[in-house]
Structure 1
Amino acid sequence: MYKTLDSFNFRGKRVLVRIDINSEVRNGKVSFSDRYSASVKTIKEL
């Protein structure tokens, strides 16, 4: 069974998060993708 973020107490701890977005770059700007939205939820939870 997978553990969830609710299974851990992160208070006072340093957390390293690696986010693999692999977004397309158009005209020198990164295109917005659904992966950004999913990542924001995790970062806010931490």
Structure 2
Amino acid sequence: MAELAELCAAGDLEEARHVASLLHADLGTKLVRYTEALEAHGISRPF
């Protein structure tokens, strides 16, 4: 996130867009893993 903020502040929006897309993809993967782990332990999702 810090890198993304720095890129935006520096005006490098093309690179910021690339970094944001990587963060978004990684976040989606982590959310799926988190949800699966909760379900495996019988814990309901908090969202």
Q: TM-score, length-normalised on structure 1?
A: 0.36
Query: Where is the helix percentage greater, Structure 1 or Structure 2?
Result: 2
Query: Where is the strand percentage greater, Structure 1 or Structure 2?
Result: 1
Higher alpha-carbon Rg: 2
